Structure 1
Amino acid sequence: MNDLDLHSLRLVAAVAETGSVTAAAERAGVTQSAVSQALRRVEALIGAPLFDRRRRPLTPTHVGRMVAGRADELAHEAERLLADARAAAELPGRIDLRIGLVDSLAGTIGARIVRELADGALALTVTAWSGLAFSHTRALMRHEIDAALTCDPMEGLDEVERIVVFREPYVLIAPHDEIEAVRGKDLRAVFERYRLVRHSARSYAGQHIERHLGRLGLRPPRAFEFDTSDALVAMVATGMGVAITTPLCLLQGTAHVAGVVALPLPGAAFSRELLLATRRGDVGDLAPRIAEVARSVARSHALPPMLALAPWLTPEALAFG
């Protein structure tokens, strides 16, 4: 025998924990002879004793302690490998996923999502593109990508299937020093005093916000607009105005968040959905699993910092699933 086997390592760990070959055999449901043979096999392979057999209970040597300590870790890794391999076996024939990530996602938790898709149970080969939502809509329709994590619902495209990953409200951000001047004011009063720093009109968020303001009869003069959330947050932090954005976009501007405050958007509730969009039938039952990976990463790695930036947010406002 030239290789360690997992069963023998588990028996070594059992002897180390119980101090007895008899007790280890009872725990594992094997004979005492099987345990003794396993110990001898591992010792022969390593070339060193694992236990001081002159002492009772059996006491592991320093080598025995190391082997026993690693046995559980190896067992867990083997179990994870088996589960991942079984999940991978259930995937469609092509597992090279081309996915678009809207910028606010790519700049915050996108790397973690890609890592989970590649290294987790799905075991996909992943090629990811970031950018504005409209570019992913076009790429999806041209078969340049297989899926998009986007805020664009792609309305009117019947061939697109959509799964909501999470919903987040739009919020008002203002320079930190101006919090008392803004708090409690309606949007009309805020815009009379401060310029509106906008998301680009090319972005879905920018268009969504403009439609909302139009419904309210508000048309603040155009002053500044940006494709990226970090630039928008930076402008507000330097006192150039206020902005309407989302917690995830605010998280993307984390380098500048110390200079801003996030407040509930005055007036009617207003939110956007981050969703997984795929062409009908292209990825089969893989789509819900990709969406759940994204949702799980957002819940564990985006939600806590969002709540830290806007502790007044409620579970109803931030909905996952």
Structure 2
Amino acid sequence: MGTLNLHHLRLFRAVAHDGTLTGAARRLNLSASALSSQLKALEAALGQDLFERRGRGLVLTEAGRIALDHADAIFRTAEDLSATLRETGGVRRALRVGGLATLSRNFQMQFLRPLLGRADVEIVLRSGSQTELLRGLDALALDVVLTNLAPARDAASRYLIHRLAEQPVSLIGTPRRVGQGAPIATLLASQPLILPTAETAIRGALDALIARLGVVVNIAGEVDDMAMIRLLARADAGLAVIPPIVVQDELAAGILVEAHRLPGIVEVFLAVTLDRRFPNPLLGGLLARQQEGV
């Protein structure tokens, strides 16, 4: 086998992740024919077919899957090294943070607070779905993902999952709606509720609590965004099931009040990182500070 051409390997990786020759060629700003010829050159150098065509798409052969594993490792290491050395040599260091779109903004600010205002630090904050953010983490475009959903792990996973905090979940509403200290069961049965969606851990625990109490509830809304639950609670659309940290400013101002802590229901905040050879030096201090409750 001849010397491996890393340019060809990079093109192969792009096609493997895209799944189509035309799509990868468009993103790489190459013609499909030029890309195809360079893939053939790589296959010739390796002595193996890397793809088989199925319909309009390309599927990796067994050799292709092995090649992709190695290609991912090679380019992640190169990107990791480049990013680390580039930041180390500069005056300002960047921390690239992905925040789940539905996660409490107040919690994200609390996590980042030690770095806010520092002249030597640039914070790059991206919001998105769990899938989008983990993809960015895998590609080293992000240093950490803040989430309340633990990603699946297996023997090949490089994810490190850091438990940062555990927040209580409460029944919260306007003073008018909460009234004068009614029991939890009475409020759940008598007031419209603004709830997280069914796939969340909070909702599963709440449904179990409702079943234990034997009450029938009136659901005013099911919302997958904590910021929207906060706005609906402020608008007096119903009682919200929400961690108090999400509405801490409204609670402090008396716009909303906490009727009850919901027994046995918590939200867990996590930071997901990769097992990297060159981790971002800004991140270690943040994780340690958060986990120590400072």
TM-score, length basis structure 2: 0.54
What displacement does 1:260 show? 1.7
Distance 1:175 1:144 in 2: 41
Structure 1 279/102 Cα, relative in aligned 2: closer, same or farther at 3 Å? same
Larger radius of gyration: 1
Distance 1:282 1:105 in 2: 30
Q: Which amino acid aligns with 1:176?
A: P
Tell whether 2:237 aligns with 1:245: no
Structure 1 163/215 Cα, relative in aligned 2: closer, same or farther at 3 Å? same
Given that residues 146 and 282 in structure 1 are in contact (C-alpha distance below 8 angstroms), is that contact kept between their aligned partners in structure 2?
no
Q: Which amino acid aligns with 2:95?
A: L
Name 2:183's counterpart in structure 1.
185
Out of 204, 215, 218, the residue aligned to residue 211 of structure 1 is 204
1:83-117 Cα deviation digits (max 9, x unpaired): xxxxxxxx942534321124545456639827717
Q: Secondary structure at the match of 1:119?
A: coil
Q: Secondary structure at the match of 2:85?
A: coil
Name 2:46's counterpart in structure 1.
none
Structure 1 223/143 Cα, relative in aligned 2: closer, same or farther at 3 Å? farther
Structure 1 141/263 Cα, relative in aligned 2: closer, same or farther at 3 Å? farther
Out of 150, 162, 166, the residue aligned to residue 153 of structure 1 is 150
What displacement does 1:273 show? 2.4
Q: CA RMSD in A?
A: 3.7
Out of 256, 262, 272, the residue aligned to residue 258 of structure 2 is 262
What displacement does 1:198 show? 2.0
Out of 92, 98, 101, the residue aligned to residue 99 of structure 2 is 101
Q: Which runs of 5+ in 1 are unaligned?
A: 1-90, 297-318
Tell whether 2:233 aligns with 1:236: yes
What displacement does 1:227 show? 4.2
Say how many residue pairs are matched. Answer: 198
Name 2:124's counterpart in structure 1.
127
Name 2:279's counterpart in structure 1.
284
Q: Which amino acid aligns with 2:266?
A: S
Distance 1:134 1:170 in 2: 25
Q: Which amino acid aligns with 2:259?
A: L
Distance 1:101 1:152 in 2: 11
Structure 1 118/276 Cα, relative in aligned 2: closer, same or farther at 3 Å? farther
Structure 1 111/165 Cα, relative in aligned 2: closer, same or farther at 3 Å? closer
For 1:9-48, list aligned pairs within 5 A.
none
Structure 1 271/155 Cα, relative in aligned 2: closer, same or farther at 3 Å? farther
Distance 1:142 1:249 in 2: 30
Name 1:223's counterpart in structure 2.
220
Distance 1:128 1:289 in 2: 18
What displacement does 1:170 show? 0.9
Structure 1 149/94 Cα, relative in aligned 2: closer, same or farther at 3 Å? farther
Q: Secondary structure at the match of 1:173?
A: strand
Q: Secondary structure at the match of 1:269?
A: strand
TM-score, length basis structure 1: 0.50
Q: Secondary structure at the match of 1:93?
A: helix
Name 1:274's counterpart in structure 2.
269
Question: 1 or 2, which has the higher strand percentage?
Answer: 2
Given that residues 229 and 250 in structure 1 are in contact (C-alpha distance below 8 angstroms), is that contact kept between their aligned partners in structure 2?
no
Q: Secondary structure at the match of 1:156?
A: coil
Distance 1:213 1:111 in 2: 26
For 1:68-87, list aligned pairs within 5 A.
none
Distance 1:257 1:198 in 2: 23
Q: Which amino acid aligns with 1:214?
A: D
